Amino acid sequence: MIPHNHTQIIKFYLLGLSEKSELQPFIFGLFLSMYLIILFGNLLIILVVIADSHLHTPMYFFLSNLSFVDICFTSTTIPKMLMNIQKQNKVITYASCFAQMYFFLLFAYLDDCLLTVMAYDRFVAICHPLHYMVIINPLLCGRLVLMSWIFGIAMSLFHSFMVLQLSFCTDIKIPHFFCEFNQVVHHACSDTFLNDLVIYVTAGVVGGIPLSGIIYSYSKIVSSICRISSSQGKYKAFSTCASHLLVVSLFYLTILGVYLSSAASQNSYSSGTASVMYAVVIPMLNPFIYSLRNKDIKGALKRLLEMAVMMVPNFKALKKCW
């Protein structure tokens, strides 16, 4: 069905995680706190990787890109949610909803691609250590990130085009805190069979192929670690990929659970609550997971802090000269 002109002026109502007014201040404070942690934590990782020459390696190049994507990922949804709570206004225009949906899909696909690329990086580092610098060279790193962006943009445009073919007859109330793709599709008044088919096929292909690659990489990694004779060597090899494996597990278990679970009702708040895990909680946990279990990051943070402390007396002395 070709979308009618009135779709242009339609409004969506984001009902959030709860319609209870007494819970709104708590939700506002909670999400504001999580958003600030996401911004500070991921920006700190990017700054540390850029500032410390010891971290100018493929592993941390991919990690800094993941941190940047996580910042953008959460910035597409949380600020609008906080603004709606603050202004007590749940309206989002059709154009804004469409833009939010597009960018959310883009950064979700980028997250997926970067996690897969990072698994390949760990596979080469542990299974082919002597050829690591030859295989994972700067040119390949740049190409892998560029291909991730191209794939994310292409898939997001494809899904967005599919939504543009739908028509929406009345103002739509979405029991979610952002314009989540699945929710928007199922609130259309036109036939959504083709969109549903695309959602499940895409979830299977885009989720299945990278996940299969990650599982294959880690099966080879585990096999290589088992062949290491010393326990210290085994621990060192496993510690380099444990953080990534934890993030991958959290990401796939939550996002696939939300999109593939037929038990979740489209008209309830259950989907929105579940989406908080992969859309907010995981980007917030990533800096902690990668920094607390990583000696290189902790060492770089220590050196950066020492440098900042040393600069303070110099700044005060320079100020006195003025």
What pLDDT is attached to residue 103? 96
Q: Taking Cα atoms as reference points, which of 209, 272, 218 lies closest to residue 245?
A: 218
Which pLDDT score is estimated for 9?
A: 55
Given this model, what pLDDT does residue 322 score? 55
CA–CA dist 144, 61 (Å, integer)? 11
Angle (nearest 5°) at CA 219 between 240 and 113: 70
- Both structure tokens of 40: 């500070």
Of 96 and 318, the structure prediction assigns the larger pLDDT to: 96
Q: Is the pLDDT of residue 321 over 60?
A: no
Residue type, 101: M
> How many Å apart are CA 316 and CA 313, to the nearest integer?
5
Token pair recorded at residue 263: 């038990």
Phi, psi (rounded to 5 degrees) for 237? -65, -45
- pLDDT tens-digit map of 127-153: 888 899 999 999 999 999 999 999 999
Domains of the chain: 5-301 (1.20.1070.10)
User: Model confidence over 22-58: pLDDT tens digits?
Assistant: 888 999 999 999 999 999 999 999 999 998 888 899 9
Query: How far, in Å, CA of 267 to CA of 165, rounded?
Result: 22
Angle in degrees, 0-180, between the axes of helices 193-226 and 138-164, rounded to the nearest 10: 160
Cα R_g (the chain), whole angstroms: 22
Q: Is 70 exceeded by the pLDDT of residue 320?
A: no
Q: Quick one: pLDDT band at residue 61, thresholds 50, 70, 90?
A: very high
pLDDT digit string (tens) for 204-239? 777 788 888 888 988 888 888 888 777 777 777 777
DSSP tag of 280: I
pLDDT tens sequence across 284-319: 988 888 877 677 787 877 887 777 677 656 555 545
Task: Please tell me the distance from the alpha carbon of residue 187 to that of residue 174, in angstroms, as a whole number.
Answer: 8
